[in-house]
Chains A and B, each alone.
Chain A
Amino acid sequence: MAIEVRIPTILRTYTDGAKQVEGAGSTLDELISDLEHRHVGLRARLIDGGSLRRFVNVYLNDEDVRFLDGLETPVKDGDTVTVLPAVAGGAV
């Protein structure tokens, strides 16, 4: 089962510079755990305290998984998961 995962520039240190990697799993959580085996440290950049980090956007195909089932979102062969750092900031 191959799910394509698109990695933003700042996380490519975990993928030896690759902008795209492949993984397996039946939920997003499983997929991320699978990726962690080959890209150690990546999981901690995406997940904190058991949920997806506030300023990391993860999309299944073209939907933000926050509007699906978060880490429990089902994924399957042929899906594309895209990770983008949120663009945000403030006055302080």
Chain B
Amino acid sequence: MLTLTRELHDKIVQHARQDHPDEACGVLAGPAGTDRPRRFIPMTNAARSPTFYEFDSAEQFQVWKQMDDQDEEPVVIYHSHTATEAYPSRTDIGLAGEPSAHYVLVSTRDENETEFRSYRIVDGEVTEEPVTVLE
């Protein structure tokens, strides 16, 4: 189960819409061990592609270092699909390297409706989970 505020949910959706048709990506950081996202960290998609995303490695280092310094962890890792459904692809599954994170997929394939779904990806296994948005 992923629980996040309306504000954080909407920031992710807005980021995805803004970057469409390129995939958008980023992190929601939260205090270590709480499983509660608090801080919105949009990341540069170094691939700048409509079908691939990759965090810029230098940016990733700075963000991970800052999280570590502040005793936070990446609670959510999000990215968007711009022409396909909000479900982890084979590539997404193969590259998922943070077993404790909630992987949020957003789809901007429809210009009016944005799909927002969350998954755990552990050892190559995908499990969808419910999302609770706190108003």
A residues at B contact (CB < 8 Å):
8-10, 55, 57, 59, 62-64, 66, 82, 84-92
Mostly helix, strand, loop or mixed at chain B's interface? mixed
For A92, the chain B residues whose CB sits under 8 A away are: 51, 84, 89-91
Question: Which bracket fits the contact residues of B?
Answer: 35 or more
What is the chain B residue whose CB lies nearest that of A11? Answer: B97
Q: Are B51 and A10 in contact (CB under 8 A)?
A: no
**What is the minimal beta-carbon distance from B132 to any residue of chain A, in angstroms?**
24
Contact assessment for B60 and A91 in the assembled complex, using a CB-CB cutoff below 8 Å: no
A-B contacts, 8 listed (Cβ < 8 Å): A62-B65, A82-B61, A86-B55, A86-B57, A87-B98, A88-B54, A89-B88, A91-B91
Q: Determine which residue in B54, B60, B61, B97 has the highest number of CB atoms from chain A within 10 A of its CB, and name it.
A: B97
